[in-house]
């Protein structure tokens, strides 16, 4: 214990504002914005009180998973925990992040101000040196920013950081990350995407980190890692020759393929469609892509379809319903209910980005019912029919995991259980019972300019299951494994392709 306490003293040099201090030298280019500006307690409490009033009066599901008395406790305790002064970054991560997490709504999230986003763009910040793939209680190194640390390589199993064991550390960080209900799988993916970013903002920056790991003999060991410090690149940027420049057409093609793509694997008579969004504009004419894809699948007589929705965070419900028409065999509705608690955002319209436009939509598209809520009747009444032309009746494998969210969760709910469809992977991050959305403007707090997303409608899934806070579960569960992470393999895709091969060889589709 004595040696451990000495070790703690070595790594106790916490620098919570170090990276802001290091970046302040760059702030001179922006004469009006100072990232290290301190807001008084009174100013912060004013912003907090305004946010509380808006959430209490306009959020459709504030008490869906957290009872009112508990939510009041969190509001009150966080309000009183605001210190004498805080920076924008501190207020966001220490006060707003834990507040929005308690709502258990994946669409109610906080964001930094626009000025901060502009300021931080293209800047590197001191942080914890390891990128980690995180699931369950497991942490596997995917990259080491301090390349000289030869003992900690990609594939290494991490067991603790600064004396905090994996399970406790992950659960501690989850208290600052939003999600639908208790569907935490999306937060495993968030941590896996940029562990240094979340560790820095939630736990601060340390000069040294004590890291527990499994060594080559299979035994647990400890190592002291220095924080990663960005090195300024003094080399001149290489001048891009004209022939190296990407044409506008090629650039647009790359952008389209980053949103959606289809490839045909003729060796297993399979089409692989990747949809990373249901936003028709963002996906650059997604409607046409979906139509043309299923037409081509019919023309080529493809029998198997792999539909990859693993990073599809949602988008337009109309695009989700269009895809469903090509897969689902029976008529369906998108929701059992879709309602908001107020006909207008007034008296807070001026604090909500394009609040006036939201008010116009609420006025024309909602109607008050006997439950005193304002219902979006179109989505509650509209009965969609499956496509006759180019409808796909072969075997469908839908790849899902944590980032499968919102409108993509609506799709998963509607095709789950159909005989020729299997959901494969891990639990979706979007709630199986329902979620909040349709219209999601930003609340812009007037003093700090921090933003909080405000979903206006509560959506309950068509033929919904019980409300247990779970995301849509897969029919075939394929979790990550350390060896696949180490080798950089897409294990889920490989397993599905192998299943299709076996089915093709046996001539049997189950």
Q: In angstroms, how far apart are the furthest CA atoms of the chain? A: 74
Confidence band (pLDDT; 50, 70, 90) for 19?
very low
User: Which tokens is 1 given?
Assistant: 């214990």
User: Which tokens is 197 given?
Assistant: 């970013």
Confidence band (pLDDT; 50, 70, 90) for 223?
very high
What is the predicted pLDDT for the residue at 257? 73
Please answer whether residues 132 and 192 qualify as being in contact, where contact means their C-beta atoms are separated by less than 8 angstroms: yes
Q: Any idea what DSSP says for residue 473?
A: P
What is the predicted pLDDT for the residue at 21? 42
Return contacts of 77-80, CB within 8 angstroms, 24+ apart.
78/48, 79/45, 79/48, 79/49, 79/52
CA angle 123, 124, 127 (to 5 degrees): 145
Confidence band (pLDDT; 50, 70, 90) for 67?
very high
Position 17 pLDDT exceeds 80: no
Q: Could you give the residue ranges of the DSSP H alpha helices within 175-316?
A: 185-193, 195-203, 248-259, 286-299
Q: How deeply is 80 buried, as exposed, middle or buried, from its count of CB atoms within 10 A (0-12, 13-18, 19+)?
A: exposed
What is the predicted pLDDT for the residue at 30? 57
User: Which tokens is 94 given?
Assistant: 């220490």
User: Which tokens is 162 given?
Assistant: 């600064």
Confidence band (pLDDT; 50, 70, 90) for 241?
low
Q: How deeply is 152 buried, as exposed, middle or buried, from its count of CB atoms within 10 A (0-12, 13-18, 19+)?
A: middle
Please answer whether residues 255 and 281 qualify as being in contact, where contact means their C-beta atoms are separated by less than 8 angstroms: no
Average pLDDT, the chain: 90
Position 463 pLDDT exceeds 60: yes
User: Which tokens is 34 given?
Assistant: 């100072």
* For range 445-450, the mean pLDDT: 98
Displacement of CA 81 from its chain's centroid (Å)? 28
pLDDT digits (tens, 9 = 90+) for 119-136: 998 888 899 999 999 999
Confidence band (pLDDT; 50, 70, 90) for 28?
very low
Whose CA is closest to 493, among 398, 394, 391, 413? 398
* For range 234-257, the mean pLDDT: 61
CATH of 2-17+126-226, one of 2.30.42.10, 3.90.1300.10, 2.10.109.10, 3.40.640.10: 2.30.42.10
Confidence band (pLDDT; 50, 70, 90) for 112?
very high
Please answer whether residues 211 and 158 qualify as being in contact, where contact means their C-beta atoms are separated by less than 8 angstroms: yes
pLDDT digits (tens, 9 = 90+) for 279-327: 976 545 899 999 999 999 999 999 999 999 999 999 999 999 999 999 9
* For range 232-255, the mean pLDDT: 60
Position 22 pLDDT exceeds 50: no
Position 18 pLDDT exceeds 80: no
Q: How far is CA 488 from CA 129, 142, 143, 151, in A?
A: 20, 9, 11, 19
Sheet with 434-437: list strands edge to edge: 367-368, 374-375, 335-340, 457-461, 434-437
Q: How many CB atoms lie within 10 A of CB 248?
A: 8
What is the predicted pLDDT for the residue at 61? 97
Whose CA is closest to 20, among 79, 87, 65, 81? 87
Domain spans of the chain?
Answer: 2-17+126-226, 36-120, 248-505
Q: To which residue do tokens 């170090």 refer?
A: 18
Cα(219)–Cα(213) distance, rounded to whole angstroms? 8
Cα(61)–Cα(339) distance, rounded to whole angstroms? 10
Please answer whether residues 438 and 374 qualify as being in contact, where contact means their C-beta atoms are separated by less than 8 angstroms: no
Please answer whether residues 400 and 426 qualify as being in contact, where contact means their C-beta atoms are separated by less than 8 angstroms: yes
Position 509 pLDDT exceeds 70: no
In the chain, what percentage of residues exceed pLDDT 70?
A: 87
**Which of 181-195, 237-251, 395-409, 477-491 has the weakest average pLDDT?**
237-251
**Which of 97-111, 146-160, 192-206, 398-412 has the weakest average pLDDT?**
146-160
Confidence band (pLDDT; 50, 70, 90) for 433?
very high
* For range 39-45, the mean pLDDT: 98
Please answer whether residues 492 and 364 qualify as being in contact, where contact means their C-beta atoms are separated by less than 8 angstroms: no
Return contacts of 358-367, CB within 8 angstroms, 24+ apart.
358/439, 358/441, 358/456, 361/439, 362/456, 366/339, 366/340
User: Which tokens is 139 given?
Assistant: 């942490």
pLDDT digits (tens, 9 = 90+) for 380-430: 999 999 999 999 999 999 999 999 999 999 999 999 999 999 999 999 999
What is the predicted pLDDT for the residue at 6? 40
Q: How far is CA 391 from CA 301, 327, 331, in A?
A: 12, 7, 13
User: Which tokens is 160 given?
Assistant: 């603790």
What is the predicted pLDDT for the residue at 33? 87
Confidence band (pLDDT; 50, 70, 90) for 334?
very high
Could you tell me the CATH superfamily of domain 248-505? 2-enoyl-CoA Hydratase; Chain A, domain 1 (3.90.226.10)
What is the predicted pLDDT for the residue at 4? 37
pLDDT digits (tens, 9 = 90+) for 86-104: 999 999 999 999 999 999 9
């Amino acid at each position: 214990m004595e040696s451990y306490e000495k070790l703690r003293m070595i790594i106790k040099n916490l620098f919570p504002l170090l990276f802001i201090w290091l970046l302040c030298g760059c702030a001179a280019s922006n004469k009006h914005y100072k990232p290290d500006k301190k807001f008084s307690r009174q100013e912060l409490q004013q912003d907090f009180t305004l946010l509380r009033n808006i959430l209490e009066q306009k959020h459709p599901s504030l008490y869906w998973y957290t009872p009112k008395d508990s939510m009041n406790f969190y509001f009150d305790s966080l309000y009183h925990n605001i210190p004498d002064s805080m920076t924008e970054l501190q207020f966001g991560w220490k006060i707003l992040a834990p507040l929005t997490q308690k709502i258990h709504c994946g669409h109610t999230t906080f964001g930094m101000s626009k000025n901060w986003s502009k300021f931080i763009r293209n800047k590197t910040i001191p942080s914890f040196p390891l990128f980690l793939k995180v699931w369950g209680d497991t942490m596997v190194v995917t990259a080491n920013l301090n390349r000289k640390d030869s003992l900690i390589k990609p594939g290494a199993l991490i067991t603790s950081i600064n004396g905090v064991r994996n399970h406790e550390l992950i659960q501690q960080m989850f208290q600052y990350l939003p999600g639908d209900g208790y569907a935490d799988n999306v937060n495993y993916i968030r941590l896996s995407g940029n562990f240094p970013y979340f560790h820095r903002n939630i736990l601060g920056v340390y000069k040294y980190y004590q890291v527990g790991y499994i060594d080559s003999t299979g035994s647990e060991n400890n190592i002291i890692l220095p924080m990663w410090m960005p090195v300024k690149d003094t080399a001149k940027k290489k001048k891009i020759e004209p022939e190296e420049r990407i044409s506008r057409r090629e650039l647009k093609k790359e952008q389209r393929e980053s949103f959606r793509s289809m490839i045909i694997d003729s060796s297993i008579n399979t089409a692989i469609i990747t949809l990373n969004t249901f936003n028709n504009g963002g996906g650059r004419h997604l409607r046409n892509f979906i139509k043309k894809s299923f037409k081509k699948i019919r023309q080529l007589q493809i029998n198997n379809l792999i539909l990859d929705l693993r990073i599809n965070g949602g988008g337009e419900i109309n695009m989700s319903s269009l895809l469903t028409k090509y897969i689902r065999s029976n008529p369906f509705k998108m929701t059992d209910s879709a309602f908001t608690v107020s006909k207008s955002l007034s008296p807070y319209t001026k604090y909500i980005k394009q609040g006036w436009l939201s008010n116009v939509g609420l006025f024309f598209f909602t109607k008050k019912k006997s439950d005193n809520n304002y219902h979006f009747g179109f989505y509650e009444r509209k009965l969609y029919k499956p496509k006759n032309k180019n409808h796909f009746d072969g075997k469908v494998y839908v790849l899902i995991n944590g980032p499968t969210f919102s409108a993509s969760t609506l799709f998963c709910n509607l095709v789950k259980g159909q005989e020729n469809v299997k959901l494969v992977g891990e639990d979706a991050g979007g709630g199986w019972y329902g979620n909040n959305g349709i219209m999601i403007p930003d609340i812009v707090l007037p003093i700090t300019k921090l933003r909080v997303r405000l979903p206006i409608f509560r959506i309950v899934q068509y033929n919904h299951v019980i409300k247990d806070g779970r995301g849509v579960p897969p029919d075939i569960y394929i979790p990550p494994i350390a060896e696949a992470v180490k080798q950089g393999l897409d294990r889920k895709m490989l397993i599905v392709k192998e299943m299709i091969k076996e089915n093709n060889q046996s001539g049997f589709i189950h």
